[in-house]
């Protein structure tokens, strides 16, 4: 990277530029989260009204994951080939239009087909949104800002639950898809202002365009914050953009870790959290009460993601991942034995909080940091592909386990995966805390810094 894009971006103090990027990407990802979690409220209502059956609900969720799997895989290659900007706009339009079409579904089978196309856009957005933001943020604040991005996404859970509680009994479940679709299209228009990633431009030989963009960014930040410190001069390792580079001795172990942790968190989310209203209805609870219980528990989503955002930079990624996994195991083991409604909601909330600490760390922070710019979206896309793909069968496993063993059987599967995650992250995980993306990508290779440029003033907190 002849223009030293990474070092020039990493020495910038946090500014209005970074916050503008965060908001433009984050609002789009909020609607991504809203549309993902809409299943939690819609499926309870379609089941109760007779529009769907429990097996059809399972197929609806599975088709969501099939679409997300294909979307995550495709966007990885498109994003590395054609740029971050092209992919995050394309996927937003896809799931926005599919969401609007879902509002007019004449049958559950038509809704399932629409949900597949929504899934394609949703899977792509999750990959490219986090990866793009990662490439703009300096290392000292990267965990915090990426965690805030996860808060945007998971806030879609309580908002969709609250909308379901207030609107579905009055207007029916179709209104949920109208809200998500209109919001996504509006954000698509606003997000046309987003610039391309300078790191991607430099890594793909567009040096002049990258330099011009960096000059504009630096001028904007300097006008707000004053003179900028000089960038460190680094000899960053060059990585091949070939597909085979994913299987190199340095990258392949990271790819395996990324795939495993995303399999675990996807199974937790879509094998437990999104099924809460359906579990409650199947156990005889009326639809309004089930939505109320699910809404209270869903408040743990922004709380957990916020905790992840605030602790990732101070405690480190691996420490927070392992600690949150242990907390989820503890409360997951208690949950099946609680039958008092108030206590059930409290323990459920305490279970949801560490799950969403993991959402922030794994989706938003950890996996996008593991790979070099040249193959970041491809590698993250493959990790998300395995994460989403593994959960195509999860709804059917959940239906079978719930039918034979109740909620205890469902949670036993979740806790086993959490134990596996703790071992894998502790033994094979890398720690990106406080390190530039180029340094993380280099692995054990030490970047060479000019001695008079290594001490760069860290950016102030947000």
Task: Say if CB 127 and CB 72 are below 8 A apart.
Answer: yes
More confidently predicted of 45 and 213? 213
Residue 124 confidence (pLDDT): 87
Is the pLDDT at 48 greater than 90, yes or no?
Answer: no
- At 449 the three-state DSSP class reads strand
Output the average pLDDT for the chain.
84
What domain range is 253 assigned to? 5-230+248-453
Residue 208 confidence (pLDDT): 92
Grade residue 18 by pLDDT with cuts at 50, 70 and 90. Answer: very high
* Residue 239 lies inside a defined structural domain of this protein: no
Is the pLDDT at 225 greater than 80, yes or no?
Answer: yes
* Residue 433 lies inside a defined structural domain of this protein: yes
Residue 234 confidence (pLDDT): 62
d(CA 178, CA 7): 43
* Residue 305 lies inside a defined structural domain of this protein: yes
d(CA 410, CA 388): 18
DSSP character at residue 246? G
* Residue 237 lies inside a defined structural domain of this protein: no
Residues 6+ apart with CB under 8 A from 390: 263, 266, 267
* Residue 431 lies inside a defined structural domain of this protein: yes
Q: Structural domain tally of the chain?
A: 1
More confidently predicted of 37 and 305? 305
In tens, the pLDDT along 328-361 reads 999 888 877 777 777 877 888 898 899 999 999 9
d(CA 137, CA 139): 6
d(CA 159, CA 299): 9
pTM assigned to the model: 0.79
Q: Once rounded to an integer, what is the mean pLDDT over residues 211-217?
A: 94
* Residue 461 lies inside a defined structural domain of this protein: no
In tens, the pLDDT along 78-124 reads 888 888 888 888 888 898 899 999 999 999 999 999 999 998 988 88
* Residue 357 lies inside a defined structural domain of this protein: yes
- At 89 the three-state DSSP class reads helix
Nearest to 99 by CA among 191, 32, 151, 54: 32
Q: Kindly report the CATH number assigned to the domain that includes residue 307.
A: 1.20.1250.20
Tokens linked to 330: 């503890």
For 322-336, b where at least 16 C-beta lie within 10 A, e where not — what string? bbbbebbbebbeebb
* Residue 243 lies inside a defined structural domain of this protein: no
Task: Say if CB 408 and CB 233 are below 8 A apart.
Answer: no
Residues 6+ apart with CB under 8 A from 210: 3, 5, 198, 201, 202
Task: Say if CB 181 and CB 100 are below 8 A apart.
Answer: yes
- Give 427: exposed, middle or buried? Use CB within 10 Å, 0-12, 13-18, 19+: exposed
Radius of gyration of the CA atoms of the chain, in A: 22
């Amino acid at each position: 990277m002849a223009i030293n894009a990474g070092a020039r971006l990493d020495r910038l103090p946090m500014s209005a530029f970074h916050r503008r990027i965060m908001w433009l990407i984050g609002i789009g990802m909020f609607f991504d989260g809203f549309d993902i979690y809409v299943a939690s409220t819609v499926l309870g209502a379609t089941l109760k009204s007779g529009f769907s059956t429990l097996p059809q609900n399972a197929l609806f969720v599975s088709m969501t994951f099939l679409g997300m799997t294909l979307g995550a895989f495709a966007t990885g290659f498109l994003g590395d080939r054609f740029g971050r900007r092209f992919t995050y706009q394309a996927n937003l339009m896809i799931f926005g239009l599919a969401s609007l079409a879902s509002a007019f579904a004449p049958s559950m089978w038509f809704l399932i087909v629409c949900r597949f196309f929504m899934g394609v856009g949703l899977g792509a957005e999750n990959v490219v949104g986090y990866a793009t933001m990662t490439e703009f943020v300096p290392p000292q604040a990267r965990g915090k800002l990426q965690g805030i991005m996860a808060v945007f996404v998971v806030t879609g859970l309580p908002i969709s639950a609250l909308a379901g509680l207030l609107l579905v009994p009055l207007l029916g479940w179709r209104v949920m898809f109208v809200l998500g679709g209109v919001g996504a299209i509006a954000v698509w228009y606003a997000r046309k202002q987003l610039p391309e990633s300078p790191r991607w431009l430099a890594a793909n030989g567009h040096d002049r365009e990258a330099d011009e963009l960096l000059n504009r960014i630096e001028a904007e930040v300097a006008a707000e914050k004053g003179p900028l410190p000089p960038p460190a001069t680094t000899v960053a390792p060059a990585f091949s953009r070939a597909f085979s580079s994913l299987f190199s001795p340095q990258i392949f172990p990271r790819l395996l870790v990324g795939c495993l942790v995303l399999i675990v968190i996807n199974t937790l989310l879509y094998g437990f959290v999104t099924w809460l209203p359906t579990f409650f209805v199947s156990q005889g609870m009326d639809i309004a009460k089930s939505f109320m219980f699910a809404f209270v528990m869903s408040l743990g989503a922004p709380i957990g993601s916020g905790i992840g955002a605030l602790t990732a930079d101070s405690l480190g990624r691996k420490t927070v991942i392992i600690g949150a996994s242990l907390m989820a195991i503890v409360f997951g083991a208690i949950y099946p034995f609680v039958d008092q409604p108030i206590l059930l909601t409290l323990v459920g909330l305490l279970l949801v909080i560490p799950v969403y600490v993991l959402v922030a760390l794994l989706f938003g922070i950890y996996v996008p940091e593991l790979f070099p710019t040249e193959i970041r979206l491809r590698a993250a896309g493959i990790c998300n592909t395995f994460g989403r793909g593994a959960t195509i069968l999860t709804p059917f496993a959940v239906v079978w386990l719930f039918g034979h063993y109740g909620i205890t059987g469902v949670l036993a599967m979740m806790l086993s995966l959490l134990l596996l995650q703790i071992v894998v992250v502790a033994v094979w995980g890398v720690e990106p805390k406080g390190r530039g993306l180029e340094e993380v990508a280099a692995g054990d290779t030490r970047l060479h810094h000019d001695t008079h440029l290594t001490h760069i003033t860290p950016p102030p907190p947000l």
